[in-house]
Amino acid sequence: MGRTAPDTRWALRPRTITKEAPVPYSKEYAFGEITAVFSTGETTRPGSDYYCLTGQIDTGAITTWVKSTNSSTQAVRPADSWRQMSSGDFRGTPPAGYRIFSDAAGKDGVPQD
The pLDDT score that the predictor gives to residue 45 is 83
pLDDT for the residue 101: 64
Query: What pLDDT score was predicted for residue 67?
Result: 92
CB atoms within 10 A of CB 37: 20
Per-residue pLDDT of the chain (113 residues; tens, 9 = 90+): 566 665 555 555 555 555 556 668 889 999 899 999 988 878 788 888 988 877 667 777 788 888 999 989 888 887 777 777 777 667 777 788 887 765 544 454 444 44
Contact 64, 28 (CB under 8 A): no
Give a three-class secondary structure readout of 52-90: ECCCCCCCCCEEEEEEECCCCCCCCCCCCEEEEEECCEE
Predicted pLDDT of residue 59: 72
CA angle 96, 87, 81 (to 5 degrees): 20
Q: What is the pTM of this model?
A: 0.58
How confident is the model at residue 35, as a pLDDT?
A: 92
